[in-house]
Amino acid sequence: MPQTNPAMTLPRSGPFSLDDGDSYAAWRAWKLEAHPREVSALLVPVEDLANPSPAERERILDLCRRANMAVYDTSGRSGHPGPALERALRGFAASFGMTTVEDHRSMDEEAVVSIEVVDESARPRSGFIPYTTRRILWHTDGYYKFGYPGAPVIRSMTLHCARQGKEGGVNELLDPEIAYIRLRDENPDFIRALMAPRAMTIPEFIEADGRIRPQSTGPVFWVDADTKALQMRYTERSRNIAWADDPLTSQAVAFLRQLLRGGDEPFLFRHRMEPGQGLICNNVLHTRTAFTDWEGKGKGRLMYRARYSNRIMNTGLQQAA
Ligand SMILES: [Fe+2]
């Protein structure tokens, strides 16, 4: 089922409706009980990346239903960087129903993007922060791919650690459903503001090849009509972004920023991926800390990323059992 048309209206019933407090309370209680409590609980050993076993798949799906993410661990068995590993990664994702792969300017023949430090000659990757050793602030992937005709909304992704850097390069992770709960518990009007169709605008961007990525305007949270799943788009960046100009939006954004940076959120996880490990997720909130890289060609930190417009299979709205 293609998921191309985000529902832009506030849901009238169900846990994400502000008029359905009972559904929210039941779902919230289930969620806070079901969510893993430490990052080690996200780890799932996987023997053969290209062909996860039924038991491995079920463990990963279960985590994705409870936390929208899992970290698989091949303990280095996934092999050396190269096209065969990239194909294995795509096969792994496909076994979770992740098939509508993003068309990205920097993807290779396997539709995978290599996240590594590059110099100016490596167009079109050069000039963007992911391809440096600098930190990456809190965001969901592809937050700027939304709200214009044909926008390839990113709902799921895999990020595979092919090589880790010398120091740093830690990922912080937070399930968007937990962010939703904290915001709504603080003030339900924060949700109203962040579900508004014009909450967040990213201006038009002209690609190096002259292609224009249109202005992206849309909500931070929305609910997809088919899966009933809560979706989120967010970036912590402060330049080239326009938030809706009203006090509630400003307060909601400030609260979210404090939640992400405050150090008090028990479900916010930190993990430094080992080579052969990878994140599979329904586009959760994440960062990358700055890192020091290894010297020499073919030695530096390398992450393989593939992103998809559909969610991980069978991970739509989860209800209390
Ligand atoms: Fe990202």
**Domain spans in the chain, listed from the N-terminal domain onward:** 21-308
CA of 132 to the centre of ligand 1 (A): 13
321, pLDDT greater than 70: no
DSSP 8: -
Span from the CA of 297 to the centroid of ligand 1 (angstroms) = 24
Distance 133 CA to ligand 1 centre (A): 14
Query: What percent of the chain lies above the pLDDT cut of 70?
Result: 96
Helices (H) and strands (E) counted in the chain, each on its own, are 6, 19
First-residue to last-residue Cα distance in the chain: 25
| Residue 218 φ then ψ, to 5° | 180, -175
- Cβ atoms of 131 and 208 closer than 8 Å: no
At residue 49, φ and ψ (nearest 5 deg) are: -55, -45
Q: What is the mean pLDDT of the chain?
A: 94
pLDDT tens, residue by residue, 173-230: 999 999 999 999 999 999 999 999 999 999 999 887 888 889 999 999 999 998 999 9
Task: Taking residues 128-151, report their average pLDDT.
Answer: 94
Report whether 97 contacts 313 (CB < 8 A): yes
As a whole number of angstroms, the distance between CA 143 and CA 202 comes to 8
Q: How far is the CA of 113 from the centre of ligand 1 (A)?
A: 12
Q: How far is the CA of 188 from the centre of ligand 1 (A)?
A: 28
Question: For 6-15, what is each residue's pLDDT tens digit?
Answer: 666 788 999 9
pTM higher than 0.85, yes or no?
yes
On the question of pLDDT at 75 being above 80, the answer is yes
Given CA atoms 228, 304, 172, 103 in this order, what sign does their dihedral have? negative
Q: Helix H segments across the chain?
A: 21-34, 54-67, 83-94, 176-186, 188-194, 247-261
Query: 130 CA distance to ligand 1 centroid (A)?
Result: 8
Please, which pLDDT band fits residue 97 given cuts at 50, 70 and 90? very high
Q: Is the pLDDT of residue 141 over 50?
A: yes
Task: Return the percentage of the chain with pLDDT > 90, whole number.
Answer: 83
Q: Decide: 234 and 221 in contact? Cβ < 8 Å.
A: no
pLDDT of residue 207: 80
Query: Residue 8: what pLDDT?
Result: 61
CA of 129 to the centre of ligand 1 (A): 11
pLDDT score at 168:
98
Q: Are strands 212-213 and 205-206 parallel, antiparallel or unpaired?
A: antiparallel
Q: Which whole number is the average pLDDT over 3-22?
A: 81
Backbone phi and psi for residue 252, each to the nearest 5 degrees, phi listed first: -65, -45
Cα separation, 174 vs 270, in Å, equals 9
Per-residue pLDDT of 243-297, as tens digits, reads: 999 999 999 999 999 999 999 999 999 999 999 999 999 999 999 999 999 999 8
For residue 283, report the distance from its CA to the centre of ligand 1, in Å: 8
Torsion of CA 214, 229, 308, 147, to 10 degrees: -10
Reported as a single tens digit per residue, the pLDDT across 142-166 is 999 999 988 999 999 999 999 999 9
Q: Per DSSP, which regions of the chain are E strands?
A: 43-45, 69-73, 113-115, 136-139, 156-163, 167-168, 171-174, 200-202, 205-206, 212-213, 216-218, 221-223, 230-232, 242-243, 269-271, 277-281, 285-288, 291-292, 302-308
Q: Are 71 and 279 contacting, i.e. CB atoms less than 8 angstroms apart?
A: yes
Q: How far is the CA of 22 from the centre of ligand 1 (A)?
A: 34
Helix, strand or coil for residue 103? Answer: coil
Distance (Å) from CA 65 to ligand 1 centroid: 20
Residues 45-62 have a mean pLDDT of: 98
- Determine the distance separating the centroid of ligand 1 and the alpha carbon of 25, expressed in angstroms: 31
CATH number assigned to the domain covering 21-308: 3.60.130.10
pLDDT value of residue 2: 40
Nearest to 60 by CA among 34, 96, 98: 96
Distance of CA 12 from the midpoint of ligand 1 (Å): 31
pLDDT of res. 7: 61
Q: Which amino acid is at 57?
A: R
Cross-strand pairs, 291: 168
pLDDT of residue 107: 86
The pLDDT tens digits for 30-42 are 999 999 999 999 9
CA of 103: how far to CAs of 82, 145, 180, 304, 308, in Å?
Answer: 20, 11, 29, 15, 9
pLDDT score of 5: 54
Determine the pLDDT at residue 224.
93
Ligand 1 centre to CA of 124 (Å) is 17
Q: Which two tokens stand for residue 261?
A: 């940076």
What's residue 67's pLDDT? Answer: 98
Ligand 1 center from residue 62 Cα (angstroms): 23
- On the question of pLDDT at 63 being above 50, the answer is yes
Here the tokens at position 47 are: 């023997």
Binned at pLDDT 50, 70 and 90, residue 320 comes out as low
